[in-house]
Each structure stands twice: as structure tokens, then as C-alpha cells.
Amino acid sequence: MTENKPSHAEECLSRSSLVISFAGALAFLYLRTFLFPATPFVAIGDQVLFFSRATRILHGQSLYRDFFEIVPPGTDLLYAAAFRIFGIRAWVMQAWAIAVGLAFCWVITQIAGRILRGPLILLPAFLFLVFDFSNALNLTHHWYSTLAALAAVNVLMGGASLRRIFAASLLCGAATLFTQTQGGLTFVALVIYLLWLKRSEGQGSSIVTQLATLVLPFTLILSGVLGYYIHKAGFRSVFFDLIVFPLRFQSSGEVNSPRTYLRQLPLVHSPTDILRLIPFLFIYATVPYIYFIGLYQLWRKREMLPTVLRQRLVLLHLVGLVLVLAVASAPRHFRLSTVAPPAILICVWLASEQSPAHRAARNLLWVLAAVFALLLPFHRQARWHATLNLPIGQTAFSDILVFHEFEWLAQRTHPADPFFNQSALCLYLSLDNRTALEFINDDDFTRPEWVEAAVQSLRRDPPHFIVLQPESTNTSDAHNHTAPIRRYVNDNYRLVQIFYLNGSSQYQEELWELKTNSNNP
């Protein structure tokens, strides 16, 4: 197979339909990320770590040498470039979320146009926005790897010419520069697909030529980028951060273990809680189970499906399955959401049959998506909110407890003041974490040698404020290496505030202030 001509699955929508749908997506994303008319909401979650590392890069620090990074440098470099161009501003982070959401909508719609017909082409991106992306607005490396993997799928769905294989290889390399597992497994999926395609079709370029075209750009991208950091930080540091640490220490805590599956389901106490539950149930029901249903249907209809459509669906299933495999060791709702787009596409394909039951399922999906598309922005804009003028710009808050923490510290600090152990406060208040350690965990995720180095740094240049969380009672002493930092803080600081976050007294952040008479040994 070289180039695929448009098939019955690519019935084009009118340009006006596409423009209206993308304008709607833009409005939806804007109202979810900005308080009308133009105040960005505060960014939450692990994305803040990547934005914070981007500021370190702009200040001359190097990944793997000056601070730890568990994934390849793609996300940090992307955010550093954004901050370099637009400045370290609060609006940049939320504008980036809009851009990523629209990019996903475009790629998903492109793929949908290759496997679906008519208005149904718009449904996967619609479901993605309201049930997936909007409920997991946390721009970590996972999203970018999935986006690059989907782009590679879209390229190869157009045919397996050498030109397209080369482009898919570049995209696969980009996916690996964001997440080593997702990108690496996507590369394996593409190899399997080309081998299967050659066996089933038996024409076109030789399989050796195809595989060489796939391997070479992928290898050059990774060796070039990682080689630079090996030169800067040394092979040992890069190998430890990207290979040894994920295999040995990442799963030591509850968050990064298989035990986390289904634990993010919200509790149901009222009818409104049932609405909150629907997006969670949609993701848990489709990922990964929809792939097994889809593969069964592919096998059952193998003689009836057009050849090109069957090939495209096999490719989508392969990449979707390996993306799930990449997060299977820690299947939190958020991580399942980041790899859900292929499953959403397959879900809509399965619902595209013309039986009354399938028609009812499609109508239900349209109605639910439309309801949530209206409710979510309205809820975001209408709920309690407050704004603060912070060093990186005016920022909106919808959580009163988080607002009080930011407000309290903003009144008592100045930009460039030393600070430790809370990346969001550090980023938004333009504070300076002068240690190589971004945060501490009460498990093997925080290594003892990092703790000792952080204590030495704190002694040399003690910050006025330090944030700590109460010591966990669920971790054994053998895995909790934070005692030196906690001992240092207790000896030299006094507890001045406790902030109860996430609406729960179980999640606390303690704010410690340097004692005026501390000799800071």
C-alpha cells in the first residue's frame, strides 16, 4: 500500500460545519480556562512542575544536571520556549491549554474522517472535550505524547508510503521526547503494524526499507536530543533519571501503583454528584475495555469491512492499546484520560452501526455531550471565584482555600525571595527555590541523597518560608527518607499557618517561618 484514496469513511463535512465546531471548541475551552473576560484561572496539578522547570531552564539551569527530571526533556523545553517568547505570565499556561485542546480536536477529527461518515465525524472530538480533556486539564507530558502518537496514526492512515513512514517516525520520536514509555511503545506498535500490513497486503516497498525508514529518523531524534543532555549532565545522571528511577522507585507510593485504579471516583451524595460521576464512568468504561470489543468486531467483520478501513482500525487499536499499556502501572483516572482519545474514536465507530440500539447509543452520547458542553463552562464561570494580582499577572481562583494560601503568602513575600517545597506558590509568586529538590514525598520517590543535598542548600541560604505536609503514617521508615529535612525545619522554623486544601482536613499544607533567633547550623 502506498497512498490511500478517500473512502466511504471520509465523507467530508462542509467547511462551515468544521468552522462552527472548532469555534465552539475554542469558546468551551476559553470559558474553562479563563474567568470572563480575560483572567486566567490558576493552573493546578503536576503541570506546575513542568512550568516551574521551564523557568529554571530560562535561568540557565540544565535538566538532569541541576535538577531531577523523570521524563525526557520535551515538555520542559516546550514550556521554556513559550515563556521565552511570551514571558513568564499566568495567561500563557492557560492559553497553552486551549492550544493543546484545539490541536487534539483537529487530529481526532482528521482520524474520525477516515473511519466515520457524516456528522458523526464530529462526535469523537466533542466527547473528548467534555468528558476527557475538560476533566483532566493538567498539561503534563502524557498529553503531548498522546497527541504526537495520534498524529503519527493519522499520517499512516493515509498510506504506508516511505514519505508517510518517515513523517510518522518523526512524530513517534517527538512522542518519546515527552514520555519514554508512550513514545517507545508507540514505535513498537508501528513496527507491528507495518509487519502485519506487509503480510496482509504484500505489495509496495520492501519491509526492510519500510522498517529502516521508520527506525532511522526515530533514532536520530532521540540520540541527538538525549546526546546533548548526556554531554551536559553525564550518562550516569541521564540514565538514572530516565531508566533506573522509573523502574526502581516511581511505584513506591500509592499514586504511582496499580492500587490507584478506580480510587478517583467522586463520592455521590446528591443528584449533582451523579453528573460529576458521568465523565469518570465514561473514561473507566472505555479505557481499556473498548479495545477488546473493537478487536472482536474487527475479527467478526473481517470479510465485510473494506480493506482500507480495516487497516486503519487495526492501526488505531494497536496504538491505543500500547498507550494504555504505558500507563498501566499507575492507572489513575487522569492518566487513563490522557490515553483515552483512541478509545473514544473506537467507541464512536462501534456506535456507528445502523441498528436501533446503536442509534439510541449515538443519540445518548450527543445529548450528554451537549448538556455537559453547556453546564461545564457555566459552572466554571458562575461558581465562587476571586482574583489576585500576582507577580506573573492577575490570576483567578475558584477554590477559596487555595486562594487564602496564595493571598496569605503573597502579602508576606517578594519576587526572588528564597522558598521551598511548593512549586505552584513558587511559580505564581516568582519565588526562588534554590535547592535541586522540587518537593519531598514520604516514600522512595524522594531519595536520601537528594534530601541531604537539599538540607545543605537550605543551610547555606535559608528561605524565610518553607511548606511541609504532615508526615505520612502509611509509609514505613525504610522508605521515608525525609527525616533530615523535617528535623532541620523543626529546629530552625516555627509553624505559622496550616492550610486545609481540597475541601478536606485530611490534606494539609503547613507553612513554616524562619525563627528570628535561628543560628541555622
Dump the DSSP string for 233-287: H-HHHHHIIIIIHHHHTGGGSSTTSGGGTTTTPPP-SSHHHHHHHHHHHHHHHHT
pLDDT at 203: 62
Residues 46-56, mean pLDDT to the nearest whole number: 97
CA-closest candidate to residue 91, choices 37, 162, 17: 37
Higher-pLDDT residue of 175 and 506 is 175
Distance (Å, whole) CA 297 – CA 399: 45
C-beta of residue 439 within 8 angstroms of C-beta of residue 423: yes
Strand 419-420 and strand 465-468: the pairing is: parallel
Give SS3 for 500.
strand
pLDDT at 436: 92
Residues 154-178, mean pLDDT to the nearest whole number: 97
- Phi (first) and psi of residue 398, to 5 degrees: -115, 0
C-beta of residue 448 within 8 angstroms of C-beta of residue 485: no
pLDDT at 391: 98
pLDDT band (50, 70, 90) for residue 6: very low
Q: Map grid coordinates 478509545 to a residue.
A: 343
Distance (Å, whole) CA 94 – CA 40: 6
Number of CB atoms found within 10 A of residue 476's CB? 8
pLDDT at 264: 85
Q: What residues pair up with 387 in beta bridges, in sequence order?
A: 396
C-beta of residue 242 within 8 angstroms of C-beta of residue 184: no
Q: Map grid coordinates 520492501 to a residue.
A: 206
Higher-pLDDT residue of 484 and 443 is 484
pLDDT band (50, 70, 90) for residue 504: low
C-alpha cell at 48: 506546575
pLDDT band (50, 70, 90) for residue 331: very high
pLDDT band (50, 70, 90) for residue 443: confident
Kindly report the three-state secondary structure assignment for every residue of 414-466. CCCCEEECCHHHHHHCCCECCCCCCCCCCCCCCCHHHHHHHHHHHHHCCCCEE
pLDDT at 1: 47
C-alpha cell at 186: 508507540
C-beta of residue 122 within 8 angstroms of C-beta of residue 13: yes
Integer-rounded Cα radius of gyration of the chain = 24
pLDDT band (50, 70, 90) for residue 505: low
Distance (Å, whole) CA 500 – CA 293: 44
The pLDDT of residue 11 is above 60: no
Element (H, E) at 511: strand 508-514
Dihedral class, residue 310 (left if φ above 0, else alpha if ψ from -120 to 50, else beta)? alpha
Element (H, E) at 53: helix 47-58
Residue 275 Cα distances to 260, 272, 282, 380, angstroms: 22, 5, 12, 15
Express each pLDDT in 99-148 by its tens digit: 999 999 999 999 999 999 999 999 999 999 999 999 999 999 999 999 99
The mean pLDDT of the chain is: 92
CA angle 33, 36, 40 (to 5 degrees): 40
CA-closest candidate to residue 147, choices 114, 179, 191: 179
pLDDT at 10: 44
Distance (Å, whole) CA 384 – CA 398: 6
The pLDDT of residue 8 is above 70: no
Distance (Å, whole) CA 255 – CA 232: 31
To the nearest 10 degrees (0 to 180), the angle between helices 15-33 and 90-115 is 150
C-beta of residue 351 within 8 angstroms of C-beta of residue 368: no
Model's pTM, two decimal places? 0.94
CA-closest candidate to residue 210, choices 168, 174, 182, 150: 168
The pLDDT of residue 296 is above 90: yes
Express each pLDDT in 225-269 by its tens digit: 999 999 999 999 999 999 999 999 887 667 778 888 988 888 888
The pLDDT of residue 2 is above 90: no
Express each pLDDT in 464-484 by its tens digit: 999 998 877 665 567 888 999
Q: What residues pair up with 396 in beta bridges, in sequence order?
A: 41, 387
CA-closest candidate to residue 398, choices 26, 31, 2: 31
C-beta of residue 510 within 8 angstroms of C-beta of residue 467: yes
